[in-house]
Amino acid sequence: MKRITRSDHSDPALLEVIAPILATGARNYGAAFFLSRLRGNWVEIIHVATPETGVSYLHPGVGKRPMHACSCAKAIAAVSPELLSHGELNGQLKRYTEHTITSGKDLAKELDVIRAKGYAECIEELERGISSVATTLGKTGVGSTLSIGATASVRVFTPPIRVKIGQALIEMSHELSSALGWDGADANMKSA
């Protein structure tokens, strides 16, 4: 029965395992935590957990995110670079703010940084004053098509806090990957 449940990658089945962990993150850090998934050639935020503190927080909303200007999408693109054809991207990367990456070459460099750190950051790339941090649930398989993240104002998510959140998200991703039974599958795919 566990194997059947773990092989169900529908949104409700994934949320049954992932939503409680995101709620804990939101409670512990006082920020909105979210789950995103790859759908075809775009990434969509499908769930948001908010803090219960009564203190103001930023809600990222649900729905599509641009592959080049949002931490959840960049995290997925970093482990699946085939999603972005760099030769075709120049001139097609929409500028949302003065911080948005609009060059395929610059985006490729950013994806290299994300792979090295293990998490992606979005610092005022999509909206002024807003930052987010995200990582995938795995480097291969289903986990590479899902990302978890957190968002807050740049005033709250300072550089040291973003590092702390990034590390927390990496730990959460390992916990979730294990709970979903993907650790062995990812290891087997790497050794194949």
Q: What's the pLDDT tens digit per position in 82-116?
A: 777 645 555 568 899 999 998 888 998 999 999 99
What residue spans define the domains of the chain?
A: 2-183
pTM for the full model? 0.84
Nearest to 155 by CA among 31, 15, 28: 31
- Least confident segment among 1-15, 42-56, 143-157, 171-185: 1-15
- As a whole number, the mean pLDDT across the chain is 83
Give the CATH class of 2-183: alpha beta
